[in-house]
Structures are given as C-alpha cells and as structure tokens.
Chains A and B, each alone.
Chain A
Amino acid sequence: MTGRARTLIGFVVVGTALGLVPNLEEILTFPRFYLIFLFTIFFWVAQASSWNILTGYSGYFSFGQGAFYGVGVYTASVLVGKHGWSFITALPIAGVVAGATGLVLGLVVFRVRRLTGEIFALTTLAVAFVLASVARLSPSIDGGTGIFMTGTAVPEVLGEFTTAVYRLTLLIALVAVVTAYLIHDSRLGWGLFAIRDDEAVASGLGVPTFRYKMIALGANASLAGLMGGLWSIQLGFVTIDDVFNIRVPLFVILMSVLGGMRHWMGPVVGAVIITTLADRLNSAGLADVNQIVIGGMLVVLALAVREGVYVRMRRRWGTTAITFFGVLVVTIVLGINESLISDFAYAMVATVVVMLLPERAWDQIRRFFGRREPGAGDERAEGLTRTGS
C-alpha cells in the first residue's frame, strides 16, 4: 500500500472518529463545551492550513486571510440574514465567492512583475481594508447596521445546533488539511516550493508559476471563505469590526510559524497548541496576562523554533508520544484539573517544552542513560534542518 493511500485512510479514520465524538457525549458524559472547544480548533486548523498553502508553500506572504474570511462571512450572512436563503445552500457559495475574490486579486497582482514579497504582503492587507470599506459603504451588504445570524436554522440531519456546527467545521477542516496534504505531495506542491526557493529559477525550469500561484491563492481563499461562512452563525451578530479585524490574519501567522510552514501538519499542530493555550489562559481568568503570555510566546518561539514544532516532533516522535501521553495520563489520574482540556493543555505544553530542548541537551541525556550515539544526534539535526519537509 502506498504512503499516500495510507495517509488518506488515516484521514478517513481520524475524521470518522472525530465525527462520532458528539454521539459519545451521552456515554462519556463530557460537557458539551468540549465540542465547542474542538470546533474552535477545527476553525483555526482550516484557517491556518489554507493560509499555509499559499504562504508556506509558495513563499508569498499573505496578510489577506482576513479579507477572504470576511468575504465568506458576509456572503453567507447577506444571503441568509438579509435574503432568507437556507444556510446549507449559502455555505458553498460563500466559499466560491471568496475563492473568486482571491482569483481576481491574483489576476491583478501576479501579473505585476516588480512585486516583491513584502509588497505582496501589504497589498493583501490593503485588500482587506478595501473590502471592509466597501461593506461599510453599501447598505445592501452591511452599511454599518450589522446582520443578525442568530436563530439561523441548520439542517436537522446534522443534529442540534452545537453538534451541527461541530460536524460542519470538522468537515471543512478535513477538506482544508487534505487539500494541503495532497498539494504538498504533488507536482503542484513541488512547483510551489520551487517558487518559494527562487521563482526565476523555477520559471526557468518550466514551472508554470502563474498558474500554480493562482491555484494556491484560490485554494487559500475559498477554504478561508467557506469556514468563514460557517462561522457566521457562531458570531451571531455580524459586524464589520468583528469580522474585518487583525485577529484572523495574525493568528494564522502565529499558528503556522509555531507549527512549521514547510509541512502540511505544521499549521494543524500550531492551531491546536495556540487555541488550547488561549482557551486555558482565558478560563484561568487572567485577562491581561493572557495577552502578555501570547505575545511573549510569539516572541520567544519565533526566535527559538526555526523550522516549527512539528518537524521536531516528528524527528523525535518517540519522545513526543511518551511525554504527551505520559503527562496526560498522570494529570488525569491525579485529578489535578477539573477540565480534561486542562489536562490536555498540560500534556501539550510539556511536549512543546521538551521539543524546544536543543540537540545538545539530548546528547547529554542520552549519555546519562548510557546510550551514547557518537555524533548521530547532531548530524540528524543538521540534515533535517537543511532539507526540512
């Protein structure tokens, strides 16, 4: 069985397992809030993964996640909240409209030859502001009054409200991650990486740079918009300032940098870590410290974690597994925390901390346990850092 087939089956298994979690609510009696916690993770997984398809793979740094997300939210809200369309019909349209926005942007922007990386980044930021202004000016979109999405009906087959949102976010997140995975291991992905390394050379090698960039941008935009459309019902009351702000564009950057931008699992890991930490800090009731800790983490991790946490986890997967499950089991058994989410957070933080230890520390630990592998640790680290995948 090929590696790809195995991974795809893996997705199906994981997806199904997660999809069945709401059904287990009765049996395992966990608080319904866990579903919300999980689907918040799914939201960020989709956003970060879709963003990484463009920025991580092709190297074209985008501040525009907010624009595509916003287009998705507003498309769904206008159709459903203002014109009474059914939510399930409006949802894919949100994705399509956002994708189209991305493609139009790409048509204009990718044709300009002198567009360097940072300039592209700021163009995407500017697009977000322009879209917000347009929405503000036009009463048929928002005009300042906001759109009420509370009380939107979701199809009964998906279960009651929270479960429905859970299943839909899971679905979209899966689509996003699978898309990122498929692109990563394909000719398209190889072409994008080549563009990232040196676009002129890639073009010379015969990579259809314009087409590939458009595909990446289109995938990014449509996935962001699709999840945005879904999220409109979680927002409840959709206003320009709640949607077109700096939160989404900046968090996807943080998550992808933390997890690693060179691999499709990076944003997933980053999204899980950041969402969990933000949630636990918020629930610990430390409002101001929350912001300071996140900011501090951003600084420290951006400096200390060059290739992202995921690559390190994979490199030392044994240690990762032992640390994570070890701490998880210990905290659950000891009953230190009221919430399973907190146990999970402790296990996660412990794993991340262990991952941050540099190679030299590992050598010393290994030496301590009498299992000395001369030099192998350093070589491996060097090797993987170079190729990074």
Chain B
Amino acid sequence: MGLLAQGIVSGVLVGGLYALMSLGISLSWGALKIINLAHFAFILLSAYLVYQLTVSFGLDPLLTILIILPLFFLVGVLMQLFFHLARVDEFKSLIVSFGLLIIFQSLIQTTWSADFRRIGSALNPYETESFFIGSVAFPLAQLMAFVSALLIAGAMYLLFTRTYFGKAVRAVAQDPEMARAFGVDPRRVAVILSGLSTAFSALAGVFIAIGQTLFPGLAVGWFGIVFSVVILGGLGNALGAVVAGVIIGVAAGVATILWGPLAAPLVTFLILIGALLFRPEGLLTTRSVA
C-alpha cells in the first residue's frame, strides 16, 4: 500500500511540473490563437541558463528566478511583437514556432555541447530533499513546482475572472475587433499575455534544472506530455492544466506500479485520446479563457 501511495504522491507532484510546462502553450493557444512550439525551447533555454548561472556564479538555483523570470517575460513580449508584425495565423504559427524551436535547440547545442549537464549536489541543495509523511516522500523540488503551479493557476483564474485585464483578455480571445471597439488594445493584451506565458515556461525550466539532467534533445521528448496536458486541461485554462497535469502524472505513476514503466506512456496517451474524443474542450470548460 505504501508503494501505491508513493506512486500517487509522486504522480501528483510531477503533475504540477507538467502543468507548469504546459501553461505557456495553453495560454498562447487559448487566448492568442497561436500554437507556439518555441515554448519548449524556452523551457530548455531557461533550464540551461539556470544551470550556467548556478555553476558559474555559485548562485542558489532558486535565486536565479529573479533574473530568469523578467528576462523571459521580455523574450515573450518580443516574440509576440514578432508574431504580430509577421501576421501569423494559427496554422502558420505552428510552423514558424517549430522553426524557432529548431534554431534555439541548435544554438543551445552549440553553446553547451551535446553532452549532459547537471548542477550537481554541491551547488544544488534541493536535489534530493524531501518531506516525509509517514513513509511517503514528498520530493522538495517537485513540491515547489507543484505549489508554484497551483499558485499561478489560482492567480490566473482570479486575473481572468476578477480583473479588467482578465476581461480584456477574454474579449480579445473571442473577437479582437470587437474588443478594440470597446477600447481594448488587443496588441497590448497579447503582448502582456505572451510575456506571462513565457515567464511561466521559464519557471518550469528552473525546476527542471534543479531536478533533472539536461541535454539538448530533452525538448522534443516533452511534446507528448505537454500536449496531453494542454488538451485535457482545455486551451487557455490554467486551473485545467493543473488538474490535467495531476491526472496524467497520477495515471502514469499508478500504471508504472501496476504494470511496469512501459505501460505509463500508453496510459497517458489513451487518456489523451479519450479526452480528445469525448471532451475536446477540456475538463473545466466553464472557466476557460476562450
């Protein structure tokens, strides 16, 4: 029983990380109608930067957040301006952002070589720390990711439902021209939203750098899980992303324990297919942005 409990706990927490990784794409897609694959590159780049800052300057990995988040917010802003200038529609955005993903991945490989990079226990105090409830462990790095995801999701929910900016975002998502007629500047809304999305992706990168070993090929391996979370959670729905992430994390974890690790991806994607067929608008429809 302890084994199952551990599997579930592990799944829930890693689900938070999955949610964090998926927030960027989900918000972009739902609110901005842009499928931005470059987010995978941002997560990866952020992770590498965290690694480099920690290793070169001896910073605590969590402290790097102070540098990383504003930096990537800016990157998101620039990216949105670029998309706006180039007038990409949803379909083109897929292709253009994939091109950007390839470019960034190559630049990462050129800069840091294709070899594996880990911060290492000396500089990374969070690597193997856990809280224990009974014999069940709550890994610290994953716990932080999970809590961040929850906080952000909650903040996004409040933002979208209670603030003027949130209303503006929803208006722009539904009909940019109408929104403009009501005094909302779609471009400014889009730019801010893009900055936020990218910052969230960067935050995911921080936790990845703390908890995993890095190599340039990591990014492409995330496609499957992130898209599962995005669809299951509903486009643009931050809370949905958290719920979806947890569901997928737990399903994979339990499947691993019951049937072995090979069964986990199968279960994950069967869930995705089920979601696509029976509830493609996501689990928490009423609260989605778009």
Contact = CB atoms under 8 A, between A and B. Distances in A.
Give yes or no for direct A-B contact (beta carbon below 8 Å): yes
B184 to A, nearest CB: 25
Nearest to A123: B276
Contact of A126 (B101, B103, B106, B269): B269
Interface in A232-275: 245-246, 250, 253-254, 257
Given A129-B224, A246-B223, A302-B92, A295 B262 contact: no
Contacts of A387: none
Interface string B79-116: 00000001010111011101111110111011000000
A116 B263 CA distance: 29
A129 B102 contact: no
B262 A133 contact: yes
Given A123-B273, A125-B227, A298 B96 contact: yes
B86 to A, nearest CB: 5
A299 B262 contact: no
A180 B278 CA distance: 33
Contacts of A299: 96, 99-100, 103
A292 interface: yes
B215 to A, nearest CB: 15
A282 to B, nearest CB: 14
Contacts of B107: 292
A126 B102 contact: no
A134 interface: yes
Nearest to B29: A118
A288 B98 CA distance: 16
B67 interface: no
Contacts of A6: none
B35 interface: yes
A136 B276 contact: no
Contacts, number: 104
B231 interface: yes
A54 to B, nearest CB: 15
A98 B106 CA distance: 34
A126 B262 contact: no
B8 interface: no
A217 to B, nearest CB: 16
B281 interface: yes
Nearest to A121: B94
Interface string B167-210: 00000000000000000000000000000000000000000000
B interface residue count range (under 10 / 10 to 19 / 20 to 34 / 35 or more): 35 or more
A257 B90 CA distance: 14
Contacts of A376: none
Given A133-B269, A288-B110, A295-B102, A61 B91 contact: yes
A134 B270 CA distance: 11
Nearest to B93: A302
A126 B266 CA distance: 10
Interface stretch (A106-114, A223-231, A367-375): A106-114
Contacts of A118: 29, 35, 90
A171 to B, nearest CB: 31
B96 A302 contact: yes
Contacts of B94: 253
A137 B272 contact: no
A254 B265 CA distance: 27
Contacts of A61: 91
A246 B220 contact: yes
Nearest to A138: B262
B272 A126 contact: yes
B1 to A, nearest CB: 26
Contacts of A292: 102-103, 106-107
B273 A130 contact: yes
Q: Which of B96, B223, B278 has the most CB atoms of chain A within a 10 A radius of its CB? A: B96
Interface residues of A, number: 38
A296 B105 CA distance: 12
A112 B231 contact: no
A303 B86 contact: yes
Given A108-B277, A288-B110, A296 B231 contact: no
A295 B88 contact: no
Contacts of B268: 129
Interface string A80-124: 000000000000000000000000000011001011101100110
A278 interface: no
Contact of A298 (B86, B95, B272): B95
Contacts of B228: 126
Contacts of B273: 123, 126-127, 130
A122 B107 CA distance: 28
Interface string B35-51: 10000000000000000
B269 A253 contact: no
Given A133-B269, A303-B96, A296 B103 contact: yes
B125 interface: no
A145 to B, nearest CB: 13
A291 interface: yes
Q: Which of B102, B263, B265, B268 has the most CB atoms of chain A within a 10 A radius of its CB? A: B102
Given A112-B277, A295-B106, A137 B269 contact: no
A130 B270 contact: yes
A251 to B, nearest CB: 11
Given A122-B276, A303-B88, A296 B99 contact: yes
Interface string B271-290: 01100111011000000000
A136 B103 CA distance: 31
A295 B224 CA distance: 21
Given A129-B265, A130-B269, A295 B95 contact: no
6 contacts: A109-B277, A112-B277, A134-B266, A295-B102, A298-B96, A298-B98
Given A132-B265, A291-B105, 7 more contacts: A61-B91, A125-B227, A126-B269, A129-B269, A134-B266, A257-B95, A288-B110
Q: Which 8 A-B pairs have the closest CB atoms?
A: A298-B99, A295-B102, A299-B99, A133-B266, A295-B103, A291-B106, A302-B95, A295-B99
